[in-house]
């Protein structure tokens, strides 16, 4: 245990130093290298805190699993590097799975399992021998024989995707489908599971020994609207706005979370953004150049169900209550402890003792509700934080800087 603690303590200290050096090197207008730091360096130097983190991991996973998992990831990276090197000899860059590999997964003990297609004479005997030597010399790799190669499974998925994306009616009863590497099969989950439905699919789409059918336990819910606080690609939804000059509708999130001009499934990140002064925000247009259109943004807060008023808070008092909803830590609340804070290269932030974590950035912050199911005024966007602090950018300053209005 002492040896493992030394490892985790050293690793967290290195992370703290890296984050600290990054923060000092980033200019206020830079977006690409900006990261949220959620464990202050003083906590990482707190032996009690580090031990408690490690003990929680050990309690949940087991120390042997964590040790094995660390080794498995190293083995995996080395094997991918080997496959990438081989691919580059033929003019490629990405790892190319050879025909004798069925798949890779980590088992219940945290070990890497490399599946080898049984009774196969590889077309690339040199690479086959290289992988055999690699496995023999590596520590902790388990091999098992399987029937199908990883390439065959993915080729079959491509066939199914062609039917699926073309709107085949024979997928109306399919909840989802995908490759289960552990079982070396493609699993198709049926909402109505019966021999009749299975045969209907086999006869009209594809009958393959690679496919197994599974009864779907619960339908996948499709979100028809984006709600403030929902997680989106490593960030969170802020609040709904209209661009005053164009009349376009959309929402705001943090500028450091998106790339201007980039199209996402949730909308297009416009060039209307700012990451300097007291504002860290970007206007996301709820439209894309090509269909399908992204879901529209509502004023119903994710998780809480509360209605977010259109009124924007302009006065902030120490001791007043606030709440936030973010894609990582969900709903948290606390009090304002600084009304004018400078951090992460920004000024004029509000600091609270609520909790936030990576992925909460851009999530909605509102004044603590005083009436059931109705939130307080729109306060701003999560800018960063840690286990005991949340910083947010004020909504009134965001709207003023970007030329936006609440809608």
- Is the pLDDT reported for residue 27 higher than 50? no
- How far is the C-alpha of 210 from the C-alpha of 190, rounded, in Å? 16
Closest by CA to 388, choosing from 355, 358, 364, 340, is 355
pLDDT band at 93 (very low <50, low <70, confident <90, very high): low
pLDDT score of 137 = 93
Q: 64-73, 172-181, 201-210, 364-373: lowest mean pLDDT where?
A: 364-373
Is the peptide bond preceding residue 292 cis, with omega within 30 degrees of 0? yes
- Tell me how far the alpha carbon of residue 268 is from its chain's centroid: 18
DSSP state of 72: H
pLDDT score of 219 = 67
Q: Where are the beta strands (DSSP E) in 216-345?
A: 225-226, 231-232, 235-236, 240-243, 249-253, 263-264, 267-276, 279-285, 296-297, 321-326, 330-343
Phi, psi of 396 (to 5 degrees): -65, -35
For the chain, state the CA radius of gyration: 25
Task: Say which residue, 219 or 97, is predicted with more confidence.
Answer: 97
Whether the Cβ atoms of residue 104 and residue 142 lie closer than 8 Å to each other: no
Q: Which helix (H) or strand (E) holds 56?
A: helix 47-61
What does CATH list as the number for 222-407? 2.40.10.10
Whether the Cβ atoms of residue 49 and residue 43 lie closer than 8 Å to each other: yes
Residues 6+ apart with CB under 8 A from 182: 103, 105
- Is the pLDDT reported for residue 383 higher than 90? yes
pLDDT score of 143 = 95
The percentage of residues in the chain with a pLDDT greater than 70, rounded to a whole number, is 77
0.85 surpassed by pTM: no
Whether the Cβ atoms of residue 380 and residue 280 lie closer than 8 Å to each other: no
Whether the Cβ atoms of residue 152 and residue 178 lie closer than 8 Å to each other: no
Q: How far is CA 273 from CA 9, 245, 312, 358, in A?
A: 38, 14, 19, 20
- Is the pLDDT reported for residue 194 higher than 80? yes
Domain range list for the chain: 66-146, 155-215, 222-407
Phi-psi map region of 194: left, alpha, beta (phi>0 left; psi -120 to 50 alpha): beta
Whether the Cβ atoms of residue 210 and residue 306 lie closer than 8 Å to each other: no
- How far is the C-alpha of 293 from the C-alpha of 302, rounded, in Å? 21
135-186 tens-digit pLDDT: 999 999 999 999 999 999 989 988 998 888 788 899 889 887 888 888 999 9
């Amino acid at each position: 245990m002492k040896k493992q603690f030394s490892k985790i303590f050293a690793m967290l200290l290195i992370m703290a130093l890296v984050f600290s050096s990054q923060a000092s090197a980033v200019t206020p207008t830079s977006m690409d290298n900006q990261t949220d730091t959620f464990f202050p360096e003083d906590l990482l130097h707190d032996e009690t805190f580090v031990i408690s983190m490690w003990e929680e991991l050990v309690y949940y996973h087991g120390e042997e699993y964590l040790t094995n998992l660390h080794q498995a990831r190293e083995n995996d990276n080395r094997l991918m590097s080997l496959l990438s090197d081989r691919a580059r000899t033929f003019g490629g860059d990405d790892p190319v799975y050879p025909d004798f590999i069925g798949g890779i997964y980590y088992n219940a003990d945290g070990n890497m399992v490399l599946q080898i297609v049984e009774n196969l004479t590889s077309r690339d005997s040199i690479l086959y021998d290289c992988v055999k030597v690699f496995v023999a010399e590596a520590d902790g790799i388990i091999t098992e024989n399987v029937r199908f190669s990883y390439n065959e499974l993915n080729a079959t998925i491509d066939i199914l995707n062609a039917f699926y994306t073309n709107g085949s009616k024979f997928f109306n009863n399919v909840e989802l489908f995908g490759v289960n590497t552990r079982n070396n099969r493609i699993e198709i989950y049926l909402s109505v599971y019966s021999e009749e439905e299975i045969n209907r699919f086999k006869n009209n789409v594809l009958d393959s020994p690679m496919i197994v059918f599974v009864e779907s336990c619960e339908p996948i819910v499709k979100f028809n609207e984006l709600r403030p606080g929902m997680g989106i690609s490593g960030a969170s939804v802020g609040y709904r706005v209209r661009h005053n000059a164009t009349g376009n509708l959309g929402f705001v999130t943090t500028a450091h979370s998106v790339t201007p001009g980039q199209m996402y499934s949730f909308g297009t990140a416009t060039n209307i953004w700012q990451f300097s002064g007291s504002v860290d925000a970007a206007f996301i247009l709820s439209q894309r150049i090509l269909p399908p259109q992204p879901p529209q943004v509502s004023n119903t807060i994710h998780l809480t169900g509360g209605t977010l008023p259109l009124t924007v808070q302009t006065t902030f008092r120490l001791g007043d209550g606030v709440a936030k909803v973010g894609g990582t830590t969900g709903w948290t609340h606390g009090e304002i402890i600084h009304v004018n804070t400078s951090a992460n290269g920004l000024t004029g932030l509000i600091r609270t003792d609520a909790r936030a974590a990576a992925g909460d950035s851009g999530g909605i912050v509102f004044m603590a509700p005083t009436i059931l199911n109705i939130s307080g005024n729109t306060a701003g966007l999560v800018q960063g934080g840690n286990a005991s602090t949340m910083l947010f950018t004020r909504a009134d300053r965001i709207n003023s800087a970007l030329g936006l209005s609440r809608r």
